Amino acid sequence: MGSRHPGWTADPRDLLRAGPGFTLEDVDRGGTPGFRGRKSDAERFGRDRGRLLSELQERLFAEGRTGGTRSVLCVVQGLDTAGKGGVTRHVMSMVDPQGVALHSFGPPSEEELRHDFLWRIRNALPRPGLIGVFDRSHYEDVLVVRVKHLVPDDEWESRYDQINHFEKELVDSGTVLLKFALMVSHDEQGIRLMERLDRPDKRWKFNPSDLETRAQWADYQAAYQAVFERTSTDWAPWYVIPSDHKWYSRVAITEIVTQTLVDMNPGWPEPDWNPFEMRDRLAELMSSRALTESLADTTRTVAKAVAADAKVQREEIEVSLDDVDSEDAAARADERAALAEVTAQRAAYVAEAIRTKQQKQRLVTAAKARETLR
């Protein structure tokens, strides 16, 4: 086992998911569950996964540009100093900036308060093809709002059901929702807050109200526990991330987002035009010199696409290889089908590359003839 999750003993989604009977108190916030290795391994591993994540994100983006309706939304919650900003920046830095949309949610404005608590959330949802990231979210409306009694109890109490309903709708409309709760220990939070006071370059991150929030630690823990019990659903589970080691929260979230995209398996959209026809037309607008250079580059250009595809397909094959241990005949058949698909895809690329080169050779000859006539 484990081939699917190099670096991990198991899928971090299984390890970190808040399932039935989950108790926040039992989470070891200094733990690094499932990751084989230390900080330097995590950094190296994370960079490698970043390349795959970037490839998958580009596919999702392309899908969204050509009529696809799918998107991903990462909700990031956590107490002060848990590292929400750092994790968010880290994951976002691995993908093309045009493919991600970040929204931070602070105290609601007057206008936002005039609407239902989900109004500002609905306005910030990712468009098809995008990976949306929420730094704080609608969960503040059952966390800070509950702890600080900002609305009557029955009002926040009714919000858990509203949230579940809203998230179901969202997921049904094509958004994959990933909810991350970054959990630091009480001691680690104290150390991080003290560092903000000690370092002149970090003081801007400190707010005296952080101390009030810290004084209400137990109430916040209870509010988080209620969130996990009541809103970790099959369609939108919570992943509770031990966050005393920042490197761990980063590598865990990167892996969960990457694996989610692998499962979504976005492919390249088929154009509604024919590349051979377009190549004929483009060649009429090119010199024989440029065409000759392009011809010489053909194999290398196609090889790039094959290599990028292979990276994604390797993940998909590993998904099915994971099932081999189960000795389940259906799983083995799936694995064979996945391998056959990869072989067929490669053969198709090679066949197309051969035809492309033949076409380009003809086009170079035609261009030269055209140029001698001039």
Binding region for ligand ATP (CB under 6 A):
80, 84-85, 104-108, 136, 140-141, 144-145, 150, 207
C-alpha closest to that of 122 among 155, 167, 160: 167
DSSP for 173-227, written as a single string: TTEEEEEEEEE--HHHHHHHHHHHHH-GGGGGG--THHHHHHHTHHHHHHHHHHH
Taking the least distance from each CB to ligand ATP, the nearer of 21 and 208 is: 208
Taking the least distance from each CB to ligand ATP, the nearer of 101 and 145 is: 145
Residue 184 CA to residue 293 CA, distance in Å, equals: 57
Cβ 226 to ligand ATP shortest distance, Å: 16
Taking the least distance from each CB to ligand ATP, the nearer of 121 and 262 is: 121
Cβ 216 to ligand ATP shortest distance, Å: 11
Strands laid side by side in the 71-78 sheet: 100-104, 131-135, 71-78, 175-183, 238-242
Q: Find the residue with minimal CB distance to ligand ATP.
A: 106
Residue 152 CA to residue 145 CA, distance in Å, equals: 9
Taking the least distance from each CB to ligand ATP, the nearer of 104 and 162 is: 104
Residue 284 CA to residue 366 CA, distance in Å, equals: 9
- Which structure tokens are listed for 38? 């230390």
Taking the least distance from each CB to ligand ATP, the nearer of 33 and 108 is: 108
Cβ 228 to ligand ATP shortest distance, Å: 18
Cβ 145 to ligand ATP shortest distance, Å: 5
Number of separate helices (H) and strands (E) present in the chain: 15, 5
71 and 274 Cβ atoms separated by less than 8 Å: no
Residue 337 CA to residue 328 CA, distance in Å, equals: 14
DSSP 8-state class, residue 24: G
Taking the least distance from each CB to ligand ATP, the nearer of 202 and 362 is: 202
Cβ 159 to ligand ATP shortest distance, Å: 10
Cβ 84 to ligand ATP shortest distance, Å: 6
Cβ 115 to ligand ATP shortest distance, Å: 12
Taking the least distance from each CB to ligand ATP, the nearer of 60 and 87 is: 87
Residue 82 CA to residue 91 CA, distance in Å, equals: 15
Residue 304 CA to residue 314 CA, distance in Å, equals: 15
